[in-house]
Amino acid sequence: MPRPFFAIAYQFQWSILWTSPYLAWLLQGILTTLTLAGLGWMLAAALGAVFGAVRTVPSRLLRGLGAAYVEFFRNVPLLVWMFLWYFGVPQVLPSAAQDWLNRHHGEFVAAVAALGVYHGARLAEVVRAGIQSVPATQLEAALSTGLTLAQAYRLVLLPIALRLIVPPLTSESLNLLKNSSLALTIGVAETTFMTRQIESYTAKGFEALTAGTLIYLGLCLGVAGAMARVERRVAIPGLIVRGGGAEH
C-alpha cells in the first residue's frame, strides 16, 4: 500500500526527555542558565547604574567616559565578547590568574563577564533615560537641602529613575536571559548546550530542541510575570520611560 503523501516518517520519542540521564542534563542546564543569567544580570545592573548616572553628570570628562563605555561595548556583537573574554583575556593575565581560571570553570567566568559588560552598556542607556526623565526640580530640591551631587544621585535621582525604568529593564533582562544561550559556544553547559548534547546522544533533535524552546519560553514568561508585579508595585503615576533608548 503506498505511503500517503503527507505521512511523517519520523518516529517521535518524547519519553527520552524524562529518562536518565537526559532529564538530569536538562535540569542541570536550567540551573546553569539561571545562575549564569543571574550573575550576568547583577554585573550588568551595577555597571548600568554607574555608567548611566555618569552619562548625566555635569562633568564633560565623566560623560565622555560613560559614552565611551556604552558605545564600545554595545556596538560589538555579544558572541565576539564571549570569544574575547574566553580566548583572549586569559592570555594577558598573570600565570596565577590563568591557573585559577583553569581550576574554577574559566568558561563560566568568561560568559558572566561577557554578558555583564555587554548588557551593562545597554542598561546604562536605560538608566540614563530614566534619570533624564526625572523632573529637574527634584535635583534642585535635593541640592538645596545641602546634599552633594553624589548624594543627590544616590538618594534621590537613582531611586526615582529605577522605579521608572522597570518596563525597559524587563525587556533587557529577558534579552540577557535569552542571550545566555550563546555561552554554549565557549563550552558552558547551559540549557542549549544540554539540548544539543541530548540530540547528539539520541538523534532526537526535534524532541530535544523543543524541550529547550519550551524551557526558555517558561523562564522568560516567569521573569516577565515577576517584573510585571514589580512594575505595578513601584509605578509612579504619570511617569514612564520607553525602552527605545536601549535598542541599538
Q: Is residue 232 part of a domain?
A: no
In order of 87, 107, 182, 216, the CA distances from 187 in angstroms are 12, 6, 10, 19
Q: Is residue 23 part of a domain?
A: no
- Domain ranges, residue 42: 35-189+239-246
Question: Binning pLDDT at 50, 70 and 90, where does residue 246 land?
Answer: very low
- Which amino acid makes up residue 31? L
pLDDT greater than 90 at residue 165: no
Q: Is residue 30 part of a domain?
A: no
Q: Is residue 16 part of a domain?
A: no
- Pick 85 or 238 by higher pLDDT: 85
pLDDT attached to residue 5? 52
Q: Is residue 26 part of a domain?
A: no
Domain total of the chain: 1
Does residue 204 sit in helix, strand or coil?
A: coil
- Could you tell me the CATH number of the domain that includes residue 118? 1.10.3720.10
Contacts 24+ apart (CB under 8 A), 178-183: 178/216, 178/220, 179/78, 179/115, 179/118, 179/119, 180/33, 180/36, 180/37, 180/40, 180/111, 180/115, 181/33, 181/216, 182/78, 182/79, 182/82, 182/111, 183/36, 183/82, 183/107, 183/108, 183/111, 183/115
SS (H, E, C) 96-131: HHHHHHHHCCHHHHHHHHHHHHHHHHHHHHHHHHHH
- In this structure, what DSSP letter does residue 134 have? S
User: What percentage of residues in the chain have a pLDDT greater than 90?
Assistant: 56
* Maximal C-alpha separation, the chain: 90
pLDDT greater than 90 at residue 150: no
Q: Is residue 214 part of a domain?
A: no
pLDDT attached to residue 239? 61
- Report how far Cα 220 is from the mean position of its chain's Cα atoms: 12
Q: What is the pLDDT of residues 43-62, one digit of tens each?
A: 999 999 999 999 988 889 99
C-alpha cell at 116: 555583564
pLDDT attached to residue 97? 85
Q: Return all residues near 105 (Cβ < 8 A) that are at least 6 apart.
A: none
SS (H, E, C) 229-246: HHHHHHCCCCCCCCHHHH
Q: Is residue 10 part of a domain?
A: no
Q: Is residue 160 part of a domain?
A: yes
Kindly tell me the sign of the dihedral angle through the C-alpha atoms of 142, 148, 150, 151: negative
Kindly tell me the sign of the dihedral angle through the C-alpha atoms of 234, 176, 115, 247: negative
pLDDT attached to residue 124? 94
> What residue has cell string 546553569?
32
**Cα distance between residue 146 and residue 172, in whole Å:** 35
Q: What is the pLDDT of residues 53-110, one digit of tens each?
A: 999 888 899 999 999 999 999 999 999 999 999 999 888 888 888 888 888 888 999 9
